Structures are given as structure tokens and as C-alpha cells.
């Protein structure tokens, strides 16, 4: 029998029991739709994370306090948090002479900010002039912190977009005076919004770091009389120099902190690639986990197809016997029922792909979760639908093919 004739017979059989066919493929539709939607959302999350990290500055290395150190005291062993110091920044500034575009220290703490009747807690970040370029900030109004502000310890502040709107609404903040923990600062500039991105400056207020040490941060910014920093940002000239600069920075700070080659580091030097790798690993793990859950739906759908095809074989036992009696071979019967099963599965797969794409587009359009629909996710879902059709259709097809003609013709 021609393949096209088998397809026609399969379609007639499915149309003869429309409701049963619809209910049979429902599990496949749900499973495939879930796979497509989750893979698209996972790709979207990965792309969003990559974009957010890259928007924070190009070729960026971040030097941060690392793990806690074990300290011995009179009462036994205690734990002490490691610190990064302002003089670590000065050491790196002297020691890293090449391959560096800019380098800045950062100290951050939370304080109450007031203007008029508005008052709330937000992050106050002590920075230098190059911070704007290292983090790729854009000025919406006014100016950023300058070297002159740091040298003169000026009481000036630059507001993130959200802070500016919360304090001033539609008014221009430039030249206005705000209170940070009781200290008066004049607003010099406002940053453009970066939205809900990693390390977004929207909720921050930036001040000269020297001003912060002298007039705002107080004892909280000191440890053993040394000025501390939250991290040191290093902008490297080229991507190819990232590893070299990272190794040099690690060597200099290890020596400064008097760490032996075998000692555990009390700091970390992390690149954008490291951060991307970590976050992408998390999103990929979650995508695989959710995909496995979606796979259960496909498995259930496959079992449903096999169950219905076994019922179909029973219902069409006489038909099978008659076809065998007039010369149909086992392979022809096997092929016929396998085509019917695969047709059911592929139909469910196509509908599932359309539904999954629709779900992914819905999340993207509404802004709930970004999604990226790729050909790989669609092909993978279609492949699984095909495999399920073949796998779960084999047993009913073999059962039909192995029926004895005489027994089948006598079946009531």
C-alpha cells in the first residue's frame, strides 16, 4: 500500500472519533507547549542577564572582599569578615600601569535622605569621576562627580533616576539641597534610567568618596583605622588583557594582605565572564529542571496515545483480520497503525508548538518575563513529539500486526 494511502486511512480513523482524538493529543499539546515556552523564557532570561551585566561597563573586573578569615582569640577560634581597603586601590593604581582604561574605588552604605516632606532610606555611593565611564552611566541633567569635588570634599550629590523622581517629582533637582543623614548636599546632576538591570544606579545617590569619608560615613567606613571600600572596579582596555590584569591584581593584593601562596584568598577578582558563567549556569539549571517537569507531561501524553491505540486495535480487530485475509502483510498492518500514532503525536506537537510560541510571545509583550524563541527549541519539541509517537505507538502496532487472521475474523 502506498504511504499516501496509509496517511489518508490514518486521517479517516482520527476523524471518525474526533473527541477521542482531541483528548488523546491534549497531553502532547500541553507537554510540547510547556517545553517551547520554558526554553524560550530560559533563553530570554539568559539574554537579559547578559545584557544587564554588559550594560554595567565593558571589560570590567571587580575586586571585592572574599571569604571570612579564621582568627584565634583567647576564648578560641572566631570568625572575622575580610575587608578591602582604600590603600588596596592606591596599590593597584600604582602597580597596574598598563592595559587599564580606568580604576575606581567604591564605598556604599544606606542612609536616610530627606527633601521637603519626602524621606526614605536609600544607597549612598562614594565614587570618583571615572566611575561614570567605568559603569557606562549617562547623564540626564547636570553633571557627574569630578576630581575637583573629591579634592575639595565638596558636598555635592548626583541622583539616580528613581531617587530624583521620588524626591522631586517633575521638578528639576539641579541646585536643590537634600539632607543625607543630617548632612546637607547640593544636587549637581541626575543620571539616565537604566531600568531594572543588574547594578542599576536608579535607586542610588552618588557623592565624592573623599567627602563621604570625611563628612558622612564616619567610623563605619574604617577598620583598624584604615578606610575600607566595598569593591574596586577596573576597566580593562581589551578583552584579551582581562586574564593578565586579573592575575596581576591578585598578585599585588595577595602580597599586600601578606598571604602565602598556599593561603586561602580573603578577596576575589571577578570578571564579567565569571559573573555571566555563574548566572547563566543557574538559569540553565532551572530551565533543565522545568523542562524535565514538562517532559513528564509528554510522557503522560505518550501513555495516553498508547492506551487509545490499544483500544483502537481492539475495536478494529475484525478489520485487521479481513485485511490479512485478503493479503495484507504484517509490515503493512504495523506501518498503518504506526502512521496513525505518529500522526496523532505530530498533530499534537504542531498545536503544542503554536501554543508554546503564543505563551512566550504573551510574556514578552506584557513585559512579565522576556523570552527569545529559537529554532532549536521548536525543532527539539517537534523531535520529542515524533519520538513519543514512534515509541508509544510500537507496542499497539506490533499487537495489531501479530493478530492471527482467523482469530481476528471470529472476534466479537
Q: 135 with 199, same domain? A: yes
Do 209 and 106 share a structural domain? yes
pLDDT number for residue 167:
93
For residue 408, pLDDT over 80 is answered with no
Tell me: do 316 and 406 sit in the same domain: yes
User: Which of these ranges, 108-122, 181-195, 237-251, 335-349, has the smallest mean pLDDT?
Assistant: 335-349
- 340: cell is 496513525
Span of 85-89, 141-145, 205-209, 241-245 with lowest mean pLDDT: 241-245
Q: Is the model more confident about 273 or about 411?
A: 273
- Whether residues 373 and 286 share a domain: the answer is yes
More confident residue, 368 or 223: 223
Q: 301 in a domain, yes or no?
A: yes
Whether 150 is covered by a domain: the verdict is yes
Of 92 and 300, which is predicted with more confidence? 92
Residue 325 lies in a domain: yes
207 lies in the same domain as 327: no
Is residue 87 predicted with pLDDT exceeding 90? yes
SS3 262: coil
∠ at Cα 251 (248, 253), nearest 5°? Answer: 110
Residue 73, domain member (yes or no): no
Name the grid cell of 296.
513528564
Span of 166-170, 179-183, 247-251, 323-327 with lowest mean pLDDT: 323-327
To the nearest whole percent, how much of the chain has pLDDT over 70? 85
Q: Rounded to whole angstroms, how far apart are CA atoms 167 and 116?
A: 8
Backbone φ, ψ for residue 211 (5° rounding): -65, -40
Task: In whole angstroms, give the CA distance from residue 374 to residue 352.
Answer: 15
Could you give the CA distance from residue 27 to residue 296 in angstroms, rounded to a whole number?
Answer: 10
Considering only residues 360 and 273, tell me which one the structure prediction assigns the higher pLDDT: 360
pLDDT tens, residue by residue, 276-289: 677 777 777 877 78
What pLDDT, on a 0 to 100 scale, did the predictor assign at position 187? 96
Shared-domain flag, residues 306 and 223: no
Give the sign of the dihedral formed by CA 18, CA 24, CA 28, CA 30. Answer: positive
Mean pLDDT to the nearest integer, 370-381? 81
What average pLDDT does the chain have?
82
Task: Give CA–CA dist 249/89, Å, rounded.
Answer: 10
The pLDDT score that the predictor gives to residue 68 is 44
What pLDDT sits at residue 407?
A: 58
Whether 194 shows a pLDDT value over 60: the answer reads yes
Distance CA 63, CA 232 (A): 5
- Of 232, 254, 270, the one marking the end of a domain is 232
Are both 301 and 388 inside the same structural domain? yes
Q: Same domain, yes or no, for 296 and 389?
A: yes
Domain range enclosing 132 = 101-232
* Last residue of one domain, picked from the residues 205, 232, 259: 232
The Cα–Cα gap between 158 and 188 comes to 6
Q: Are residues 383 and 296 in the same domain?
A: yes
Judged against a pLDDT cut of 70, whether residue 79 lies above it is answered with no
Q: Comparing C-alpha atoms, which of 155, 62, 158 is closest to residue 104? A: 62
| pLDDT score of 140 | 94
251 vs 199 pLDDT, higher one: 251
Mean pLDDT of 246-253: 90
Per-residue confidence (pLDDT) for residue 70, from 0 to 100 = 46
Q: How many domains does the chain have?
A: 2
* Exposed / middle / buried, residue 299 (Cβ in 10 Å: 0-12, 13-18, 19+): middle
pLDDT over 70 (residue 52)? no
Same domain, 44 and 108: no
**How confident is the model over 294-320, as pLDDT tens digits?**
777 778 778 887 877 777 777 777 777
pLDDT tens for residues 22-36? 777 888 888 888 888
The verdict on 295 and 395 lying in the same domain is yes
Domain termination residue (choose one: 200, 232, 264): 232
Q: Which of 121-130, 264-273, 290-299, 403-412 has the lowest mean pLDDT?
A: 403-412
**Residue 185 pLDDT > 60:** yes
Q: Do 222 and 307 lie in a common domain?
A: no
153 found inside a domain = yes
Give the pLDDT band (50/70/90) at residue 198: low
Answer yes or no: is pLDDT of 143 > 60.
yes
| Inside any domain, residue 177 | yes
Looking at the predicted structure, is the pLDDT value of residue 322 above 60? Answer: yes
What is the C-alpha separation between 273 and 278, in angstroms, rounded? 9
**211-220, 247-256, 362-371: range with lowest mean pLDDT:** 362-371
- 76 inside domain: no
Closest alpha carbon to 320 in 264, 226, 398, 248: 398
Amino acid at each position: 500500500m502506498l504511504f499516501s494511502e496509509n496517511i489518508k486511512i490514518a486521517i479517516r480513523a482520527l476523524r471518525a472519533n474526533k473527541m477521542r482524538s482531541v483528548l488523546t493529543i491534549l497531553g502532547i499539546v500541553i507537554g510540547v507547549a510547556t517545553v517551547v515556552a520554558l526554553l524560550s523564557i530560559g533563553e530570554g532570561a539568559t539574554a537579559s542577564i547578559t545584557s544587564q551585566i554588559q550594560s554595567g561597563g565593558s571589560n570590567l573586573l571587580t575586586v571585592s572582599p572574599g571569604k571570612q578569615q579564621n582568627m584565634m582569640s583567647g576564648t578560641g577560634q572566631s570568625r572575622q569578615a575580610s575587608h578591602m581597603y582604600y590603600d588596596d586601590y592606591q596599590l593597584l593604581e600604582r602597580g597596574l600601569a598598563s592595559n587599564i582604561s580606568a580604576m575606581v574605588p567604591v564605598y556604599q552604605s544606606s542612609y536616610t535622605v530627606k527633601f521637603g516632606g519626602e524621606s526614605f532610606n536609600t544607597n549612598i555611593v562614594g565614587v570618583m569621576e571615572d566611575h561614570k565611564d567605568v559603569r557606562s552611566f549617562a547623564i540626564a541633567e547636570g553633571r557627574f562627580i569630578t576630581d575637583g569635588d573629591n579634592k575639595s570634599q565638596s558636598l555635592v550629590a548626583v541622583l539616580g533616576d528613581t531617587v530624583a523622581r521620588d524626591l522631586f517629582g517633575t521638578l528639576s533637582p539641579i541646585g536643590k539641597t537634600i539632607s543625607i543623614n543630617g548632612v546637607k548636599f547640593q544636587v549637581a546632576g541626575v543620571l539616565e534610567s537604566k531600568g531594572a538591570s543588574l547594578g542599576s544606579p536608579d535607586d542610588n545617590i552618588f557623592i565624592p568618596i573623599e567627602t563621604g569619608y570625611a563628612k558622612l560615613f564616619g567610623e563605619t567606613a574604617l577598620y583598624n583605622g584604615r578606610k575600607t571600600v566595598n569593591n574596586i572596579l577596573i576597566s580593562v582596555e581589551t578583552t584579551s588583557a582581562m586574564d593578565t590584569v586579573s592575575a596581576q591584581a591578585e598578585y599585588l593584593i595577595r602580597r599586600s594582605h601578606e598571604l602565602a601562596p598556599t593561603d586561602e584568598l580573603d578577596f576575589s577578582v571577578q570578571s564579567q565572564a565569571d559573573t555571566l558563567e555563574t548566572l547563566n549556569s543557574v538559569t540553565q539549571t532551572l530551565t533543565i529542571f522545568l523542562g524535565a517537569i514538562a517532559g513528564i507531561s509528554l510522557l503522560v501524553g505518550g501513555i495516553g496515545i498508547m492506551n487509545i491505540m490499544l483500544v483502537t486495535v481492539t475495536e478494529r480487530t475484525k478489520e485487521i483480520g479481513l485485511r490479512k485475509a485478503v493479503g495484507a502483510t504484517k509490515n503493512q498492518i504495523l506501518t498503518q497503525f504506526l502512521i496513525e500514532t505518529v500522526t496523532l503525536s505530530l498533530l499534537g506537537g504542531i498545536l503544542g508548538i503554536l501554543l508554546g510560541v503564543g505563551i512566550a510571545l504573551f510574556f514578552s509583550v506584557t513585559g512579565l518575563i522576556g523570552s527569545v524563541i529559537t529554532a532549536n527549541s521548536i525543532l527539539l519539541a517537534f523531535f520529542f513529539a515524533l519520538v513519543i509517537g514512534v515509541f508509544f505507538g510500537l507496542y499497539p502496532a506490533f499487537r495489531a500486526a501479530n493478530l492471527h487472521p482467523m482469530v481476528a475474523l471470529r472476534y466479537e
